[in-house]
Amino acid sequence: MRGERLRDAALTVAFVATASYLSTSAFTSKSRREILQRDGNMCRECGATDHLEAAHIDHNKKKKNYDSPSNGRTLCTEHHLDDHIDRHGRNGLTPRQNRWAIKTIAKRLYDRSEVIYQADTESDS
């Protein structure tokens, strides 16, 4: 069952990635729309058109173009999570900030998978 696998994977990541750091490093609504439009409203990794997020390329807030659309790319939730895991220590975030980002993205994935899981169990009845 797809929903069950997604839910289990998200739970595993959410429990492993724990931190209490809070951030307000999201793009503005205008920048987010611009990034998604520029990227054809699809994930640049897999081409998915659902659950899209504007993800920072470089998370160094001291850089001049930090919140500029040129520092963003469109990723689905899964690839946004993969990006933070794969680039840990090389994306401009401290380890603590990166753990928080992973936890936050994993929660979005978990919340979505919970809906799929419920739909799967209801259809089995």
pLDDT by residue (tens digit) across 102-124? 777 777 777 766 655 555 556 65
When pLDDT is averaged across residues 9-20 and rounded to a whole number, the result is 43
pLDDT, mean over the chain: 73
Q: Nearest-CA neighbor of 53 among 71, 35, 30?
A: 35
Q: How many domains does the chain have?
A: 1
Q: Looking at residue 5, what is its pLDDT? A: 58
Angle at 87 between CA 85 and CA 92, to 5 degrees: 120
This model's pTM is above 0.85: no
The answer to which of 61-65, 85-89, 95-99 has the lowest mean pLDDT is 85-89
Q: Write out pLDDT tens, residues 67-78.
A: 899 999 999 888
Range of the domain at 8: 2-16+23-124
